[in-house]
Chains A and B, each alone.
Chain A
Amino acid sequence: MSPLRQRKEVRRTISAKPEAGRLLEVTDLSTAFKTPRGLAQAVNSVSIVLDRGKTLGIVGESGSGKSVFSRSVMGLLPKHNVVREGSIRFEGQELTSLSNSAMRTYWGKEMAMVFQDPMTSLNPVVKIGRQITESLRYHLDMDKKQADEIALTLMKSVGIPEAERRLEEYPHQMSGGMRQRIVIAIALACGPKLLFADEPTTALDVTVQAQILNLLQQQQRERDMAMVLVTHDLGVVAGRADEIAVMYAGQIVERAPTRTLFAQMRMPYTEGLLKSIPKLEQPSHSRLQIIGGRPPDLVSPPPGCKFAPRCPYAQERCHVEEPPLVEADTPGHYYKCWYPVGTAEGKEALEKNLSAGIAQAVAAVGGDSVAAAKVEQEVNA
């Protein structure tokens, strides 16, 4: 983190009114897994700040560390083979030093999580009603009748028809979308201030995705919650997040308010993600733009920019020297690149790569499948 930004953040924290204090402040969080080959750095000094009522979108492809990040913040990762460093402050309270039993006062009540797959995140042998009321009775000491009433209201508010009947049903009697609504109802039951939604729509039908996302957004507004929406789809967060953080290889490579990000993206990776979304105006059967290759090995990542091996803009410098996260012209917009998109340096770098016939650049510009295959080969080699 640059000293400049650190100072700025400190100033902002001080100037903020106490009642509007930071809900979640994650500073330089690193999370690594002990593997037989060495430490796999799944999250690498990530800093985010989140206020009540705001939505942060975390975007990245599989293996970019976005799910591990949200689980690490919640403290849900097993302790014995995970190394966690940095600071997580929730309403001013440091969470990294808390034991599991101290964390239990936060889990469910203060922060909750909606998981990816509603097929496996509900217990198949327990009735829906009990799965919702369990945490109410446990955390809020309600009796059965009270808890049932709350469960009924919750189920209605997440849009489940015939809620009374559904209370007595088992998860397998419901469709995927319904189950995800139940999962959301369970997560919301104790009125958390912070909700992590870990790819909440990935396992669902496309037609249901929008409904679930709208539901999450509506609940977030009504309850004035903060939400971290983790996804691999920029389209999902486009209209819903206040701020978007793009993650790659465990690092935040670009972070900006949503509008700014889409209008003036600086990071080639973000550009690649956006290009890879199929567009309606494209003729059918046109080939999807892909980012060739795979994310780097997290045990021994490349020395320079982690994205350099796949980047159409990459120059020699990118392969040896890691760019810092710097602030762009627009305040609140940070990126991590030597040759940013939309600048003179970036343009020059891309043209240089194109004229040199670098496969990454050719594939990114022309959608050339031969070049894409070549990138695939090179990066994997």
Chain B
Amino acid sequence: MPEPSVDPAVSTLEGDTAAVQAGTQPLVLEPSPAGAPADVEKAANKRLGVMGWIAIIWMVLVVGSAILAPLLPIPDPAKPFVTHAGEGPQAGHPFGFDSNGQDMFSRVIWGARASLIVSVGSVAFGLLFGGVLGLIAGYYRGKLDTLLSYVFNTFLAIPQLVLALALVAVFASQPDVTVSEREFWLIISIGLVSIPIIGRITRASALTWSQREFVLAGRSMGARNRRIIIRDVMPNVLPAMFSIALLGIAVVIVLEGGLSILGVGVPASTPSWGNLIAVGRNELTKIIGAAPQVIFFPSIAIFLTVLALNYLGDVVRARFDVRESVI
């Protein structure tokens, strides 16, 4: 019975036209109120928001001070102010001193340096190898994919901390190991641990993008597989990889802390956020003369940095999700 359903539509249409003709309805085109919430939501997704800006400012501060640490007007992190040992925050020394009298503010800033070198380095290592393997697995599929996925899953079955601990313990635990050697092996072993995680995520993303018609179109125009992977698939997978990389840096900062407590992090002679906490953890059990700042400030630094990175990772993902839904 189509007639009854058609009639009201016609009548409302006529009603509207009549209203417009009578001048009761403004002729200016305004966005309908029904469409507004969606638009606002989209705009909010596009913008960073206050939290986003705070996160960015925090990360700029951390990265900037880590890079510029030798130039900043702060005391040498190894210099002991023996008379002030264990004292709390005071003028000129906002984070106080540790039990050796070393300036905590300076140590936290220098600690950012070591923590960031290890975390950025290992995530970059993981991105490089995990990303390439994931792209290959996701693009070629078939037996190669089965094999790589099998390897990824096998590595994922081993707890990351244990695997990283074992690798560092084997390669860089001799007593005369230098700080940069230890950092290098930390990067390699945490990087190795992150390969299967990044690889799997890249593979999943590459798998969906490789099914798109533009990949077939590229093939139909005579492009080689390598060209299609690098020019067509990879640029589409990168946003997902970037978002994972941000989260990954946060995870590695925490992981390095865990390794420090187990005694295989960055050596205590060079401060890192992880080993500051590891060294300072004795302060928690002291009844008299405890110096909680030793553990409090590095923890806060880790907490805020991980929070900021997580938030930025989400922002990145949200932005690219919007872009995809528009397409």
Contact = CB atoms under 8 A, between A and B. Distances in A.
Interface string B1-13: 0100000000000
B307 to A, nearest CB: 30
A194 to B, nearest CB: 12
Contacts of B142: 80
Interface string A168-183: 0001100000000001
A121 B215 CA distance: 8
Contacts of B217: 113, 115, 121-122, 183, 186
Interface stretch (A22-30, A38-46, A123-131, A223-231): A123-131
B222 interface: yes
Contacts of B2: 285
Nearest to A81: B142
A120 B222 contact: no
A266 B309 CA distance: 69
A126 B327 contact: no
B222 A122 contact: no
A112 B213 contact: no
B214 interface: yes
A190 B220 CA distance: 12
B213 A120 contact: yes
Interface in A93-144: 103-109, 112-113, 115-117, 119-126, 134-135, 138-139
> For chain A, what secondary structure do more than half of its interface residues adopt (helix, strand, loop), or is it mixed?
loop
Interface residues of B, number: 23
A123 B227 CA distance: 13
Interface string B294-327: 0000000000000000000000000000011011
B222 A126 contact: no
Contacts of B213: 115-117, 120-121
Nearest to A285: B2
B219 A112 contact: no
B160 interface: no
A119 B213 CA distance: 9
B233 to A, nearest CB: 9
B84 to A, nearest CB: 56
A139 B220 CA distance: 13
B224 A104 contact: yes
Contacts of B214: 120-123
Contacts of A119: 327
A104 B232 CA distance: 17
A359 B216 CA distance: 43
A124 B236 contact: yes
Contacts of A115: 213, 216-217
Would you list the 5 A-B pairs with minimal beta carbon distance, nearest first? A107-B222, A108-B221, A108-B222, A121-B213, A120-B213
16 contacts: A105-B222, A108-B222, A115-B216, A115-B217, A120-B213, A121-B213, A121-B217, A122-B214, A123-B218, A123-B232, A123-B235, A124-B236, A138-B227, A139-B222, A172-B323, A189-B221
Interface of A: 74, 76, 80, 103-109, 112-113, 115-117, 119-126, 134-135, 138-139, 171-172, 183, 186-187, 189-190, 285
